[in-house]
Amino acid sequence: MEVEERNVSSGYAKPPWIFKGSALYQIHLVKASTARAFIPKEFRLVEAFGYTLGGFFLASYDDSPAGVFDELVMIAGIVWNPPTSCAWAARVLVNSNEACHHGRKEVGLPSQVARFSKKITAVPKRKRERAFGFLDTFGLGTTLSHPEDLMEVKVSEVDSAASANICNIQIRSNESETKLGKWMGPAIKMSLPSFSGNTKFNPNLLKYSCHIHCRVRPVSPAVVSKPLEDEADKNHTSQESLENERRLSVAVMLSKPIIALQFKDLTMQVEAPVVVHPSV
């Protein structure tokens, strides 16, 4: 789809906006029927055999225009924007009021304030069977990789009208990853174009780009689960449309992972968004 573009004024500090920290970028196969619930009718979903590419971006920023904060971007899928394609976020959760306000008003993101509870647990190694000692000499034992640490991130939306637990994310580091030591992977530069907007806070359709410079390496995919709904959640989620949005967002998180990438020494430069209009 060809588009006409014009600049959008910003209430944040002067763009581009710089974010520094680390992140986990996990790509999933998302059902096209799930992704379409978030995609405006003006755009065409990129899909094959009933699936599109979505997933999530879990970041921890130690330096940003909004200070230190965490972010979970749930990516519904990829939409076509000739001559390239762009991602569409189903939901963005941040534990910063300032970052939430900026995301909503200036970037057109479906941002919500959330709570990120993190816990790291050391998982004991399993002992190798004595009978396989000879094979272990050549690295051919039956237990080649053992969990070392488990970090659990519990994400809950914080809303006075309808608070709710959203998901649990378990990130494991195993022996093969630990053996890499301080090696953080090659330094890369990449650009991630995205569409946004079409929300009550910013009804325009927008396009913006994130230019990323970081060290990247593949890691074991994180395990995502949905917390059991308690009575408090049921009482607070009386708004059916809100609960449906959350349910579909969680469905994106629970879809099948393809690959997970760890971003270290991350510097992300976000450009000011522009309004896009379908050409007549």
pLDDT in tens, 48-57: 999 999 999 9
pLDDT of residue 264: 95
The whole-number average pLDDT for the span 112-127 is: 83
pTM of the model: 0.84
Minimum mean pLDDT among 101-115, 130-144, 223-237: which range?
A: 130-144
DSSP letter, residue 177: H
Spans of all domains in the chain:
24-123+147-228+243-275
Q: For residue 129, name the pLDDT band (cuts at 50, 70, 90).
A: very low
pLDDT of 143 above 50: no
Q: What is the pLDDT of residue 232?
A: 47
Q: Look at residue 191 in the predicted model and tell me its pLDDT.
A: 93
The stretch 65-79 carries a mean pLDDT of: 96
Q: Please state whether beta strands 187-197 and 164-174 pair in parallel, antiparallel, or not at all (unpaired).
A: unpaired
Round the average pLDDT of the chain to a whole number and report it: 84
> If pLDDT is split at 50, 70 and 90, which confidence band does 185 have?
confident
E strands present in 10-108: 17-31, 51-63, 69-81, 84-94
Judged by DSSP in three states, 205 sits in strand
pLDDT of residue 24: 97
Confidence of residue 220 (pLDDT cuts 50, 70, 90): very high
Angle, CA 218 vertex, CA 74 and CA 85 arms, to 5°: 45
* Domain covering 24-123+147-228+243-275: architecture: Beta Barrel (2.40)
